[in-house]
Amino acid sequence: MRSGLNFDELKASGNLPSPAGVALALFQLTLKPDVSLAEIGHIVQADPVLSGKLIKYANHLKAGSRVIASIPDALNLLGMAATRQIALGFSVLNNNRQGACKGFDYMRFWSQSLARAIVAQMICEKTRVAQPEECFIGALLSGVGSLALATLYPAAYSEILSGGSSGPVRLELERSRFATDHLELTVALLEDWMLPLLFARVALHQEDPDSMPFPKSSREYKLCRIWHFSGALAEDFLSGGARISCRMPDLLREAKELGFDQEEFGALCDRASASWQEWGRILDVPSRHLPSFEEMMAAIPQETRTGESVPGLQILLIAREPALAELSGFLSSQGHAVLTASTEEEAMRLVLEADPQLVLCEFSVPDLVGPAFIEALRRLPSGRLVYAVLLAEQDDLESQVEAFEAGADDCIVLSRGQRFLAARLLAARRFVEMREELSKDREELRNVASDLAVANRRAQEASLTDPLSGLPNRRYAMERMAWEWNRPGDLACMMLDIDRFKSINDLYGHDVGDKVIRHFAHVLRKASRAQDVICRFGGEEFLAILPDANPKAAEQCAERIRAAVESFPFVDGKVRIPVTASIGVAIRNSGMGGFDAFIKAADVALYNAKQAGRNLVRIAK
């Protein structure tokens, strides 16, 4: 979950990804309780580009029904909430196509996000776990925390990304460097943009669904699985058909868990691929052509197509003809999934795209020298763990020494026959399995360390939160006030007190008194500005910190809160208790020695409000 301290500070910086222009106006307009579709349509039509995208999206949803040609028709189909979310998503995309973080590939990020959104939407069309059009935007923005870190800390985040770490390791690096991570920032932004709470709950666990706390029958559990699967398939889309073919058994198994048989999954892949390319053109986001599902299935051995576990290895074979065809046929007959290459360029591309477990390379291939290729492979982050074998024609000592000095794990002499080759591959398979098992154990240890770090972080956050009201507590208030005090610009604070709270406790008991505290905290949150920080200072007393508030704005804010408290009495069954508040306001000035005097001035003004009759606002002199 997000840290209120960090997110409020980051938001105050103004550097977080956010909607702009018409999308921002639309976002603010839809917060009004009485807004109509006609008003929304008037705002949308002010942006021809957004209008065109909404109409295209509405037609995309209708898929063959009557063509939608106007904004009113599109809004009637999409509804107010979906229109706001779609506008927000497209606006964030348009405003963040490039940036200063050199290690962050902005367009690749949006290409993968778009593919993930399309796949998630299509899965929801069948499963109905969430509204498909809402799921499209939720999935599109489900990785926005990474974009936020790239925007906020371009140089530092580029260093982390250049290390090639992923999963819990990357999360831990982000936390240690920025006191937050991309998942927490995603949750915070989805909440701040008021997307469905379901999305925020799911976003935190989307990269590791096995750790999520939701029951298997819950919507959260199902949507988390959908987002995880959609993200993995989107990454495969970017890598290409060869990568998808290699991962087909896992994909088919996961698709089956989501309710898709092989035929349905094939149809989904083909539809999603076509839609990805179409939406890529509409949104000016890169995509790539993918082979049909049939073609990708035909590229792998027959036993792999059932979705069962692959008994062999994922092998990249680099050789000359006719040895290439002969060796490929033999390896496939042994149950291995084989990719082939005959040039260095093609081989390197397949190493990067398909991530093979084993590379078999002849000593000499046209335009490629085996030992030199192995050396280049070892320089790649993804090539360090590949089991690399050089294939020699003759049993030559010098060739074998050269192979091992270049970084090869083995050197197999082809003249010894296919039986010898099969035996050496058994040894390679045992080594690969042990290395992957070791990697899995390390990952589990990292998960334990990550869980411990998260638990420590939660404990720290709990120490700054009042358990009754859910607001930040006095300790947080003082730390935040110290931070705001040292920032330039206008600053105001308010001391607020529930009038005659002791009488409420005496008449109705402390249980009801506690409920009144929670009710009061809820009203304060609703009536305050987004950038204001509301804290429980102690008992029935609260402190509000108002950044960038001049005297007039501070007084208006205080009066709005006072009126809101008076307008919403506490109701619990048959119990109805009028609630009012007295408020003291202080404005920072150069004559104050420090923020203690600042808070004291607001406290004195609060006392004056109570002395004057309560349910009043008083400004410190």
Q: Note the pLDDT tens digit of each residue in 406-415.
A: 898 898 888 8
In this prediction, residues 180-197 reach a mean pLDDT of: 86
Q: Is the alpha carbon torsion for 612, 528, 479, 586 positive or negative?
A: negative
Q: How far apart are CA 189 and CA 96, in angstroms?
A: 15
| 534-574 pLDDT per residue, tens | 999 999 999 999 999 999 999 999 999 999 999 999 999 88
pLDDT band of 9, cuts 50, 70, 90 = low
Closest CA to 17 of 141, 107, 173, 166: 141
Q: How far apart are CA 256 and CA 261, in angstroms?
A: 6
Token look-up 């094939």 returns 266
Secondary structure, 3-state, 437-465: HHHHHHHHHHHHHHHHHHHHHHHHHHHCE
| 269-319 pLDDT per residue, tens | 999 999 898 888 877 888 888 888 888 887 764 544 444 444 578 889 988
Token look-up 């819990």 returns 168
Q: How far apart are CA 475 and CA 481, in angstroms?
A: 10
pLDDT band of 217, cuts 50, 70, 90 = confident
pLDDT at 306 (0 to 100): 45
pLDDT band of 38, cuts 50, 70, 90 = confident
In this prediction, residues 335-362 reach a mean pLDDT of: 85
Pairing assessment for the beta strands 368-369 and 541-547 based on DSSP bridges = unpaired
Task: Determine which of 312-321, 357-366, 435-444, 592-601 has the lowest per-residue pLDDT on average.
Answer: 435-444
pLDDT at 168 (0 to 100): 83
pLDDT band of 60, cuts 50, 70, 90 = low
pTM over 0.85: no
pLDDT at 3 (0 to 100): 42
Token look-up 């008003």 returns 39
Whether pLDDT at 49 is above 90: no
pLDDT at 19 (0 to 100): 63
pLDDT band of 21, cuts 50, 70, 90 = low
Half-sphere exposure (Cβ direction) of 239: Cα atoms closer than 13 Å: 20
Greater confidence, 304 or 381? Answer: 381
Greater confidence, 306 or 476? Answer: 476
| 222-267 pLDDT per residue, tens | 999 999 999 999 998 988 877 787 788 888 889 998 999 989 999 9
Task: Determine which of 121-125, 259-263, 321-325 has the lowest per-residue pLDDT on average.
Answer: 321-325
The domains found in the chain, sorted by start residue, are: 18-95 (no CATH), 100-308 (1.10.3210.10), 311-439 (3.40.50.2300), 474-619 (3.30.70.270)
Rg of the Cα trace of the chain? Answer: 30
Q: Please tell me whether residue 359 adopts helix, strand or coil conformation.
A: strand
**Spatial CB neighbours of 570, under 8 Å, sequence gap ≥ 6:** 515, 516, 519, 576, 577, 579
In this prediction, residues 178-205 reach a mean pLDDT of: 87
Task: Determine which of 45-49, 326-330, 419-423, 592-596 has the lowest per-residue pLDDT on average.
Answer: 45-49
User: pLDDT averaged over the chain?
Assistant: 83
151 touches 96 (CB < 8 A): yes
Greater confidence, 86 or 596? Answer: 596
In this prediction, residues 51-56 reach a mean pLDDT of: 72
pLDDT band of 416, cuts 50, 70, 90 = confident
295 touches 287 (CB < 8 A): no
pLDDT at 57 (0 to 100): 72
In this prediction, residues 122-133 reach a mean pLDDT of: 88
In this prediction, residues 101-110 reach a mean pLDDT of: 90
pLDDT at 65 (0 to 100): 56
Q: How far apart are CA 107 and CA 151, in angstroms?
A: 14
Q: Bridge-partner residues for 491, per DSSP?
A: 547
| 479-496 pLDDT per residue, tens | 999 999 988 889 999 999
pLDDT at 1 (0 to 100): 41
pLDDT at 533 (0 to 100): 92
pLDDT at 224 (0 to 100): 93
Token look-up 């698709």 returns 255
- Choosing from 184, 484, 540, 555, the catalytic residue is 540
pLDDT at 355 (0 to 100): 83
68: which DSSP letter? Answer: P
Closest CA to 366 of 402, 318, 330, 327: 318
pLDDT at 10 (0 to 100): 62
pLDDT at 231 (0 to 100): 92
pLDDT band of 382, cuts 50, 70, 90 = confident
In this prediction, residues 41-49 reach a mean pLDDT of: 66
Half-sphere exposure (Cβ direction) of 379: Cα atoms closer than 13 Å: 8
pLDDT at 27 (0 to 100): 58
Annotated catalytic, 295?
no
pLDDT at 26 (0 to 100): 62
Greater confidence, 278 or 514? Answer: 514
Greater confidence, 72 or 474? Answer: 474
pLDDT at 601 (0 to 100): 95
Q: How far apart are CA 412 and CA 430, in angstroms?
A: 16
Whether pLDDT at 96 is above 90: no
Tokens of 352: 């990067």
